[in-house]
Structure 1
Amino acid sequence: MGEIELKFILDEASPSEFLARVKASKLAKGSPTTKTLRSIYLDTPEHGLKKAGIALRLRRDGRRWVQTVKTGAELHGGLSQVGEVENPAPGGRACLEAIPDASVREEVLHRINGDPLLPVCETVIKRSASELSLEDGTRAELAVDVGQIHAGERSADLREVEIELLEGSPAGLFEIAHVLFPDGGLRFSRLSKAARGYLLAEEGRIDLPLAPRNAEDVALDAAEIAEHAARNILRECLDQIATNVVVVRKLDDSEGPHQLRIGLRRLRSVFSVYAPVLESPEMARLNDEARWLGQEVGSLRDLDVVANDIVQREAGTHPDEPGLAALSSTLSRQAVEVRQRLRKLLAGARVQAFLIDLARFVETRGWLVPQDFGQTARLATPVTELAGQALGKRWKKVGKRARKLNTLTVEQRHKLRKELKKLRYAVEFFASLFASKRVDPFLKRLKKLQTVFGDLNDAATVKAMLTGAEAPGAGDPAAQRATGWVIGASQTRAEHGWAGAKALWRDLEETRPFWK
């Protein structure tokens, strides 16, 4: 038997406030029931079950004990899908021979291999549960869990919301989330209770450290179809975006906005690369939302770059120019104001709706268009075939933009920079399908060329930000001197790099395209 549920961390409202919102939503049937659940998770001394992706739980529910084995757990965008097998456990004792599914029973016994079973952690949760229903027939159980996780002498508080599907489509769970979290503040849960308990036992905490999240490589299988490959890459994009939304809201680390913008750009690149199979009205709408949010995040990221990287670099190199330090301080104060506005936006309804809809799109095949009868065949395209077509298309566009490189205008250089970025993302998406000895030389030379264009973009950003009537220090001679210094230094750096752009392009052009 499988279990499908949507999981959130409840950290923006008290449980009572949330339950009042549930009642006001009209989705719930009757009043919630409240009970205390005590769960004990067992494993071998070497955690053999955990290593096999198995969780063994004994739960006391009222006067009875139930043994549960969970297998094949997946948790993406808050949506948990896991295999679940239950049987009575009289007296609260594990009874492995009573596991009703033979294959699960054999796997558990194999992983335990005669070793003793020991408690890893225990949860004591007060659960308020309600049954919810939508007009389309979707039925779900809402559980608001408030309690503690214990592991030895360690303990931690937990407040979590679970919406478990009872009947209907998983897409209905996201509809319910829209209703129950209308104003923002939602945070997807990244770990199961079992995983949190193991983490508490091993590291003394129940969540992953909150830190800027870089993009991670996704290993594709050359035998899989394009739809499956797209889903896996989209999951990675969603995780990067959702994590960094929380990072920007809660931390001052300038890397947070940077990684959030990268995640949004990568998402839009996936939409572009996989457009032949994912093209749909919902994809187009999400792409527009990602573009909007990227522009909002970009305002803070650009300020951070100019203030913390470019101006501070010049101030450190030339301490005898006091205007540089003053300019850096002014820009940093502006960044604080922009960060506060962005945090309010990220905690608001529009961004939250985007995250819920993106998760639904990824996890419930939101790209399906019922009236498009040819879509099924396109979704089944071998990923290797799509990779060759997509990379060839990107390479052709770059080549077109790079013609007569030395005569390109500022605007033409900017367009070439964007095409190079799209090409790099496409290369990274498909790299695992090809031998690294063929991919690495191409990617290395591409990155070198991108650095040149990055300096050009920084110079343009500096000039736009530090000139005009609203520029910082417009009435301060020292700040104006510093502004001229920074603009000149950034322009010099950019032009120096541009002088070698033709050679770098020639190196890239002469590198054999690895996808051919």
Structure 2
Amino acid sequence: MGNGELEHRELREPSAQAAFSDIASPIVDEAIEQAKGVASNPSAEGLHQLRISMRRLRSLWWSYRPLLDAGENTRQGDLFRSLSDSAGKARDYDILIELLKQQQRGGKALPSEISDARQKALDTGRTVLSNPEMKTILLDALSQATRELAARKDRTPLQTFSDGRVIASEKQLRRRMRRAATVKNSNVAAFHDVRKAGKKTRYLLELFGPVLSGGHGKALNRLKKIQKRFGALNDVVVSENLLRNNASLLAGIADPEKTLKWFRKERERRLRAAAALLRKYRK
């Protein structure tokens, strides 16, 4: 390919380096607006949406890892994960409450200890994520990565880059699926790794969708099914851990042993359902 043809191609198709800000900026802006909403009217759903934005940013930064300083890229990824975790605590208690309602089938009122813990998590998330410094942190992360990419002398066509990073993400997902398929069903960590890898691949397909070569509709549908089935498993695992690791939450439940037994059985049932879907998609 001659220099003239290469220059013409770059005019038609932006480079991955040049496109980064256009992809990342809307997510950063959305996260900043969501943080403002959390500050003025905190809700578990608002925090959940902010958590999704943090996960999307983390996935995007992961995709650009080959083009960014490794140490700084890891630091930013850890930052997004920390913010995501802060946003998710209250949502975890909401899921626990819903599962307890299922277990009790409209029986006794839930203990005040659980609603108090949920409110505390909501307040903590609001305090962390409504901090004015959060806007500065996110804008600094965007600015730094944009400058670093602009300073690179090489240029990678956006489609080539996007295809390659989606393929890398899909390979990681397949490795985790193979591992989960070979471990005992009691190994929830392996299934959780599949869920995380599936989310990352889904986010990348959505972020890079317009420029990817080929169709990915079938892959997206599969990922949504994995996310739903494996997310249901994660819900019961997280809720069970909340109960087991917080004696005060169990204190107000009339029959804690019966409740824990129900969660154990529900976890096993959802593990089997997740394993069945895994077998289906590995054929």
Place the TM-score, normalised by the shorter chain, in its bin: 0.7 to 0.9
The whole-number CA distance in structure 2 between the counterparts of 1:303 and 1:231 is 35
- Counterpart residue identity of residue 167, structure 2: G
1:421 aligns with 2:190: no
The whole-number CA distance in structure 2 between the counterparts of 1:253 and 1:346 is 12
Q: Given the alignment, which residue of 247, 252, 258 partners 1:470?
A: 247
1:332 aligns with 2:121: no
Q: Decide whether the 8 Å contact of 1:387 with 1:430 is kept in 2.
A: yes
**Aligned ranges for residues 18-417 of structure 1 at < 5 Å?**
223-279=13-69, 282-307=72-97, 309-315=98-104, 318-319=105-106, 321-322=107-108, 325-327=109-111, 329-348=112-131, 352-363=132-143, 366-368=146-148, 375-377=152-154, 380-403=155-178, 405-408=180-183, 409-417=187-195
Query: Residue in 2 aligned with 1:498?
Result: 274
The whole-number CA distance in structure 2 between the counterparts of 1:261 and 1:500 is 29
- Counterpart residue identity of residue 336, structure 1: Q
- Counterpart residue identity of residue 23, structure 2: I
The whole-number CA distance in structure 2 between the counterparts of 1:469 and 1:336 is 15
Percent of paired sites with the same residue: 26
The whole-number CA distance in structure 2 between the counterparts of 1:479 and 1:222 is 66
Looking at both structures, which has the greater relative contact order when contacts are Cα pairs under 8 Å and sequence separation is at least 6?
2
1:343 Cα offset (Å): 1.9
1:311 Cα offset (Å): 2.5
Q: Decide whether the 8 Å contact of 2:90 with 2:121 is kept in 1.
A: yes
Q: Pick the structure with more strand per residue.
A: 1
Q: Decide whether the 8 Å contact of 1:361 with 1:367 is kept in 2.
A: no
1:376 Cα offset (Å): 2.4
Q: What SS does the corresponding residue of 1:232 show, helix, strand or coil? A: helix
- Counterpart residue identity of residue 420, structure 1: G
Q: What SS does the corresponding residue of 1:368 show, helix, strand or coil? A: helix
Q: Decide whether the 8 Å contact of 2:93 with 2:114 is kept in 1.
A: yes
Q: What SS does the corresponding residue of 1:239 show, helix, strand or coil? A: helix
1:432 Cα offset (Å): 1.3
Q: Decide whether the 8 Å contact of 1:445 with 1:504 is kept in 2.
A: no
Relative to structure 1, the CA distance from residue 491 to residue 432 in structure 2 (aligned partners, 3 Å threshold; closer, same or farther) is same
1:444 Cα offset (Å): 0.3
Relative to structure 1, the CA distance from residue 290 to residue 477 in structure 2 (aligned partners, 3 Å threshold; closer, same or farther) is closer
TM-score by length of 1: 0.47
Superimposed CA distance per residue, residues 403-427 of structure 1 (whole angstroms, 9 cap, x where no aligned partner): 2543323222222222112111111
TM-score by length of 2: 0.82
Q: Decide whether the 8 Å contact of 1:391 with 1:423 is kept in 2.
A: yes
Superimposed CA distance per residue, residues 378-416 of structure 1 (whole angstroms, 9 cap, x where no aligned partner): xx2111110121011111111212225433232222222
Superimposed CA distance per residue, residues 240-293 of structure 1 (whole angstroms, 9 cap, x where no aligned partner): 211221222222432111111111111111111012223365544433322222
The whole-number CA distance in structure 2 between the counterparts of 1:366 and 1:229 is 9
1:226 Cα offset (Å): 0.5
Q: Pick the structure with more helix per residue.
A: 2
Q: Given the alignment, which residue of 428, 433, 442 partners 2:219?
A: 442
Q: What SS does the corresponding residue of 2:138 show, helix, strand or coil? A: helix
Residue-pair matches, total:
270
Gaps (5+ residues) in structure 1? 1-220, 508-516
Superimposed CA distance per residue, residues 124-164 of structure 1 (whole angstroms, 9 cap, x where no aligned partner): xxxxxxxxxxxxxxxxxxxxxxxxxxxxxxxxxxxxxxxxx
Runs of 4+ off more than 6 Å:
none
Superimposed CA distance per residue, residues 351-395 of structure 1 (whole angstroms, 9 cap, x where no aligned partner): x3342142244357654289xx7x221xx2111110121011111
Whichever of the two has the greater Rg, that structure is: 1
Relative to structure 1, the CA distance from residue 360 to residue 404 in structure 2 (aligned partners, 3 Å threshold; closer, same or farther) is closer
Q: Decide whether the 8 Å contact of 2:90 with 2:122 is kept in 1.
A: yes
